[in-house]
């Protein structure tokens, strides 16, 4: 059973690699429906999924950590986010590998791409004993839930799903810590972490921590040179112009490049087309600066000459923020471990069916 699931995932990766007409049509429809999902960013997400999630070596290496992985007759409910293309695919993949039947409530912002991939997987393996996936408007008769949404949605999730085994997620942000000694290659790699998906992902770097005497202008100049394409997007351009006007009207000190407005600010979350930064004196001060934000921190991007072993969070080198491995779970919560542990729980869906019969 598990090998059939793995084979189906590998076949899907090969299907993506061949750019079939159905996939290209899905890219076109998704980009028309959601202007933030440009073909460039959709293909970025598809390449990541194919190379990092659906490669057979990576799948087997990941699953070696879970010798008790099996199958279940439980039903998993998924409420997926839609801030960047295919952001919910990893949750679906975990449920699929764990052998759950799934009810999936898609985000209206991303309701084209994930069904295209999942439906293609089933079409590629029509006789394989695979767990089923159902696309639903409302979740009914499920045993456990994984739900991702905004801060306001999270309040609702905590109330509505409190009696179910659950993983509930809300908005988080990612930051980068610079030393001032970065090479041009590192700076450009960090630019990918900032500009990819127009900065709209939880793994998008929204704030920099920089030494007190390091100038930001050389970083900004390199980013302008290589990431100017973002200004071709009407939504990004509008946000940039709004940010500049707001900063000028308020009289707030800021740096302005051709692609970003940069503000010295303690908060992690920055608007689209803007970037926050905060200065530090010593690397030893950084854990104390970041600790107050731990519940809203997704990832820390670290320059190669900075080591912060005492900082308990997910870390990545420049250029890797947007390309997590299979075991790089959102919020640092091991999704697959939870799904396996839930095998032993009673079936709530069956209880509900019996009561309603």
Tens of pLDDT along 74-89? 999 999 999 999 999 9
Mean pLDDT calculated for residue range 333-346: 96
Largest CA distance in the chain: 70
180 contacts 210 by C-beta, under 8 angstroms: yes
The whole-number pLDDT of residue 252 equals 87
Angle, vertex CA 25, rays to CA 239 and CA 95, nearest 5: 80
The whole-number pLDDT of residue 350 equals 62
The dihedral region occupied by 236, where left means phi > 0, alpha psi between -120 and 50, and beta the remainder, is alpha
What percent of the chain has pLDDT above 70?
Answer: 97
Q: Is the Cα torsion angle 330, 331, 337, 340 positive or negative in sign? A: negative
Whose structure tokens read 């290659």? 185
CB atoms inside a 10 Å sphere around CB 266: 10
Q: Residue 128: which residues within 8 A CB-CB, separation 6 or more? A: 4, 5, 7, 8
* Two structure tokens written together for 114: 């994930």
| Alpha carbon distance, N-terminus to C-terminus of the chain | 31
Tens of pLDDT along 158-169? 888 988 999 999
Is the pTM here over 0.85, yes or no? yes
Tens of pLDDT along 287-328? 899 988 988 999 999 988 887 777 778 999 999 999 999 999
pLDDT-based confidence at residue 354 (cuts at 50, 70, 90): very low
**Quick check: helix, strand or coil at residue 296?**
helix
Phi and psi, residue 276, nearest 5° = -95, 155
Tens of pLDDT along 226-272? 999 999 999 999 999 999 999 999 988 899 999 999 999 999 999 99
Mean pLDDT calculated for residue range 147-156: 84
The whole-number pLDDT of residue 351 equals 54
Mean pLDDT calculated for residue range 332-353: 84
Tens of pLDDT along 179-205? 999 999 999 999 999 999 999 999 999
Could you give the CA distance from residue 245 to residue 293 in angstroms, rounded to a whole number? 28
For the chain, domains (ranges, CATH) are: 2-171+331-351 (3.40.605.10), 173-320 (3.40.309.10)
Mean pLDDT calculated for residue range 42-69: 97
């Amino acid at each position: 059973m598990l090998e059939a699931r793995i084979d189906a995932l590998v076949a899907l990766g090969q299907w993506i690699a061949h750019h079939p007409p159905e996939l290209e049509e899905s890219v076109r429809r998704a980009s028309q429906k959601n202007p933030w999902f440009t073909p460039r960013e959709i293909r970025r997400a598809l390449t990541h999924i194919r190379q990092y999630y659906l490669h057979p070596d990576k799948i087997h290496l990941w699953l070696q950590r879970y010798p008790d992985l099996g199958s279940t007759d439980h039903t998993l409910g998924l409420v997926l986010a839609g801030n960047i293309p295919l952001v919910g695919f990893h949750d679906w993949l975990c449920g699929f590998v764990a052998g759950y039947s799934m009810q999936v409530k898609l985000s209206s912002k991303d309701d084209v791409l994930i069904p295209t991939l999942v439906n293609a997987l089933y079409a590629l393996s029509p006789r394989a004993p695979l767990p089923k996936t159902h696309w639903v408007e409302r979740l009914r008769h499920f045993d456990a839930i994984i739900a991702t949404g905004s801060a306001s949605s999270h309040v609702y999730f905590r109330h509505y799903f409190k009696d179910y085994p659950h993983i509930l997620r809300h908005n988080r942000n990612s930051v980068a810590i610079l030393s001032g000694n970065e090479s041009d290659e590192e700076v450009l790699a960090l630019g990918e972490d900032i500009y990819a998906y127009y900065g709209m992902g939880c793994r998008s770097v929204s704030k920099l921590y920089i030494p007190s005497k390091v100038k930001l202008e050389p970083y900004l100049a390199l980013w302008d040179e290589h990431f100017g394409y973002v200004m071709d997007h009407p939504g990004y351009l509008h946000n940039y112009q709004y940010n500049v006007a707001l900063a000028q009207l308020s009289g707030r000190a800021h740096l302005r490049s051709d692609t970003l407005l940069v503000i010295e600010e303690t908060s992690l979350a920055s608007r689209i087309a803007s970037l926050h930064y905060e200065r530090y004196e010593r690397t030893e001060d950084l854990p104390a600066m970041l600790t107050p934000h731990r519940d809203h921190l997704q990832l820390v991007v670290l320059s190669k000459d900075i080591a912060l072993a005492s900082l308990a969070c997910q870390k990545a080198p420049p250029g890797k923020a947007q390309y997590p491995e299979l075991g790089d779970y959102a919020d640092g919560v091991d999704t697959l471990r939870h799904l396996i542990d839930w095998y032993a729980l009673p079936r709530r869906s069956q209880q509900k069916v019996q009561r309603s019969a």
